[in-house]
């Protein structure tokens, strides 16, 4: 062997070692700093999975295929509304997150209430005598008895009525005697006296047929009759045979129940739907299989202080007299009002006491809190007056869980110091992470239960620090 051979072997070994060191150093060297910036100014916030952005790691790592995680810098993070929540697809399925789109629809509502049948106040009559006297004849003496119009109820003897009849007869005789007087003033005076005497009888409620009979027979009647003013029933009998009565005495109380009123109590939130003239349906257990139809006649301008309800009066025709005052009924008001509005399912609105929120879908697993102004509620849908447009997608289930996480994130964001600008690049803040806990939640530096599932992918795996790939939980 020549002397040059060992030298050549030594040089080859040195060259191979230098090349291997250079290749290893190149593989482990960090990426060069951005142009125009000093080394160390641009640090990644975290590293995300190259195929699934929901899987992240605080340090460089590799996926199952050996691909490097992609670094995410502060300026790469999209601007988010405070309180925006990120949820991993696996966690979304576990807590039952469902969504729906806001849509424009016509809202209407049927109001159900308990009704109470009562008398129509416009069809009630209270009969009092116009003079003092005694009850001589009582033709109707039972409560609840039906009466016909002009039916005789009772007869009263009154000295004042007897005197009035006598004066009328004298006036008639006087007119007959002076009818041929050559003096017009005398004839006109006699006629005026007759008219005055007859008017007095009418003002004392003497029936027309008794006045005509008095004119025909010229005989004073001791007993004068009182008649029913309409067809109805006797609600109250106030006198008995031989009783002394005065104008203060209520002889009878009568009611026409061919039409009745029904009172219902509605809550304040139902008042915007109800208007005078709206149709109503009524069902009674005492009249099975029958549906009565009426209308809203009046909405009272005050509320009950104890129940916080407002009374509404309905009117129903009752030609068969089946509806009896005092009965209770199931009433359904069917307002004609229709509201064309943007609406979302009622479960989508979170009412905090001071405001109403919905969570708008801003991307896969991203939910942004949005304050809205709500209107009427009907059939499980809520009218949105302001804050949401038709077509936007909102969360309809698990809203309270998302709201809790959103509140924690919003409070934590307010406590963070503002970012200091450095040479046109934000330094950002590292995203601290902790080991996953049972149930798929993670603790964060914000102090809340992070439902974003950072570090947990659709396969239920979490990235471990140090580039060791994925480890099973």
CATH code where residue 348 lies: 2.40.420.20
Statement to judge: residues 158 and 238 lie in one domain: yes
Q: Is residue 18 part of a domain?
A: no
Inter-residue contact 373 to 387 (CB < 8 Å): yes
Q: Which of 269-283, 306-320, 334-348, 411-425 has the highest mean pLDDT?
A: 306-320
Statement to judge: residues 284 and 218 lie in one domain: no
Statement to judge: residues 229 and 376 lie in one domain: no
Contacts of 411 (CB under 8 A, 6+ apart): 446
* Enclosing domain of residue 296: 111-120+256-333
Statement to judge: residues 240 and 138 lie in one domain: yes
Q: Is residue 440 part of a domain?
A: no
pLDDT of residue 332: 94
Q: Which of 367, 397, 427 is the last residue of a domain?
A: 397
Statement to judge: residues 203 and 298 lie in one domain: no
The DSSP result for 434-465, as a single string, is: ----TTS-EE-TTSSEE-S-TT--TTSEEEPT
Statement to judge: residues 364 and 383 lie in one domain: yes
Rounded CA separation 356/344 (Å): 13
Statement to judge: residues 317 and 371 lie in one domain: no
Inter-residue contact 312 to 264 (CB < 8 Å): yes
Statement to judge: residues 104 and 115 lie in one domain: no
DSSP code for 197:
H
Q: Is the pLDDT of residue 273 over 90?
A: no
Higher pLDDT, 396 or 442: 396
Q: What Cα–Cα distance (Å) separates residue 273 from each residue in 333, 342, 366, 377?
A: 9, 17, 37, 10
Q: Is residue 186 part of a domain?
A: yes
Phi, psi for residue 404 in degrees, rounded to 5? -65, -45
pLDDT of residue 240: 94
Average pLDDT over residues 239-250: 94
- Helix (H) / strand (E) element for 25: namely helix 4-28
How many structural domains does the chain have? 3
Higher pLDDT, 253 or 408: 253
Q: Minimal CA–CA distance to 264: which of 404, 408, 112?
A: 112
Q: Is the pLDDT of residue 408 over 70?
A: yes
The DSSP result for 314-372, as a single string, is: EEEE-TT----TT-EEEEEE-----EEEEEEEGGG-EE-SS-EEEEEEEETTEEEEEEE
Q: Is residue 383 part of a domain?
A: yes
What are 192-224's pLDDT values in tens digits?
A: 999 999 999 999 888 888 899 999 999 998 888
Q: Is residue 158 part of a domain?
A: yes
Q: What Cα–Cα distance (Å) separates residue 53 from each residue in 6, 49, 300, 306, 350?
A: 56, 5, 61, 57, 29
Statement to judge: residues 116 and 153 lie in one domain: no
Q: What Cα–Cα distance (Å) separates residue 390 from each residue in 46, 98, 345, 380?
A: 36, 18, 13, 17
Q: Is the pLDDT of residue 27 over 80?
A: no
Confidence of residue 467 (pLDDT cuts 50, 70, 90): very low
pLDDT of residue 461: 39
pLDDT of residue 469: 40
Q: Is residue 161 part of a domain?
A: yes
Statement to judge: residues 325 and 345 lie in one domain: no
Q: Is the pLDDT of residue 70 over 60?
A: yes
Higher pLDDT, 78 or 283: 283
pLDDT of residue 3: 56
Least confident segment among 3-7, 105-109, 391-395, 445-449: 445-449
Q: Is residue 195 part of a domain?
A: yes
Which 3 state secondary structure label does DSSP give 48? strand
Q: Is residue 268 part of a domain?
A: yes
Confidence of residue 7 (pLDDT cuts 50, 70, 90): low
Rounded CA separation 129/136 (Å): 13
Q: Which of 397, 425, 440 is the last residue of a domain?
A: 397
Q: Which two tokens stand for residue 200?
A: 């007095």
Q: Which of 301, 333, 365 is the last residue of a domain?
A: 333
Statement to judge: residues 263 and 285 lie in one domain: yes
pLDDT of residue 438: 39
Statement to judge: residues 134 and 234 lie in one domain: yes
Arithmetic mean of pLDDT over the chain: 79
Kindly report the CATH number assigned to the domain that includes residue 294.
Answer: 2.40.30.170
């Amino acid at each position: 062997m020549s002397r040059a051979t060992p030298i050549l072997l030594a040089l080859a070994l040195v060259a191979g070692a230098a090349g291997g060191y250079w290749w290893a150093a190149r593989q482990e060297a960090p990426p060069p700093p951005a142009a125009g910036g000093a080394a160390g100014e641009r640090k990644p916030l975290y590293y995300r999975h190259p195929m699934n952005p929901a899987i992240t790691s605080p340090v460089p790592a590799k996926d199952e295929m050996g691909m490097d995680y992609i670094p995410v810098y502060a300026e790469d993070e999209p601007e988010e509304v405070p309180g925006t929540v990120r949820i991993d697809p696996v966690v979304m399925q576990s807590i039952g997150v469902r969504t729906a789109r806001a849509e424009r629809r016509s809202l209407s509502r049927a109001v159900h209430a308990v009704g109470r049948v009562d008398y129509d106040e416009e069809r009630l009559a209270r009969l009092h005598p116009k003079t003092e006297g005694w009850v001589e004849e009582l033709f109707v003496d039972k409560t609840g008895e039906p009466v016909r119009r002009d039916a005789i109820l009772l007869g009263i003897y009154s000295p004042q009525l007897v005197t009035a009849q006598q004066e009328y007869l004298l006036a008639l005789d006087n007119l007959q005697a002076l009818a041929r007087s050559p003096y017009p003033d005398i004839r006109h005076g006699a006629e005026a006296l007759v008219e005055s005497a007859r008017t007095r009888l009418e003002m004392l409620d003497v029936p027309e047929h008794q006045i005509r009979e008095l004119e025909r027979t010229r005989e004073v009647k001791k007993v004068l009759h009182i008649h029913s003013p309409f067809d109805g029933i006797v609600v109250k009998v106030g006198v008995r045979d031989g009783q002394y009565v005065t104008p203060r005495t209520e002889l009878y109380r009568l009611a026409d129940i061919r039409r009745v009123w029904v009172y219902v109590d509605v809550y304040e939130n139902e008042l915007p739907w109800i208007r005078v003239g709206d149709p109503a349906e009524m069902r009674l257990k005492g009249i099975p299989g029958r549906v009565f139809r009426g209308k809203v006649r009046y909405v009272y301008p005050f509320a009950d202080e104890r129940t916080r309800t407002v009374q509404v009066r309905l009117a129903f025709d009752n030609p068969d007299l089946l509806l009896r005052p005092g009965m209770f009924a199931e009433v359904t008001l069917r307002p004609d009002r229709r509201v064309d509005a943007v609406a979302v399912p009622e479960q989508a609105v979170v009412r905090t006491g001071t405001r109403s929120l919905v969570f708008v879908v801003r991307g896969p697993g991203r939910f942004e809190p949005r304050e809205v102004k709500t209107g009427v509620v009907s059939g499980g849908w809520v009218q949105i007056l302001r804050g949401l447009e038709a077509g936007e997608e909102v969360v309809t289930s698990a809203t309270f869980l998302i709201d809790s996480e959103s509140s924690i994130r919003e409070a934590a964001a307010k406590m963070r110091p503002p970012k200091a600008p450095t040479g046109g690049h934000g330094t950002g803040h590292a995203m601290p992470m902790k080991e996953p806990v049972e149930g798929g939640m993670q603790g964060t530096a914000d102090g809340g239960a992070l439902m974003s599932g950072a570090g947990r992918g659709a396969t239920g795996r979490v990235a471990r620090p140090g580039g060791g790939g994925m480890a099973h939980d």
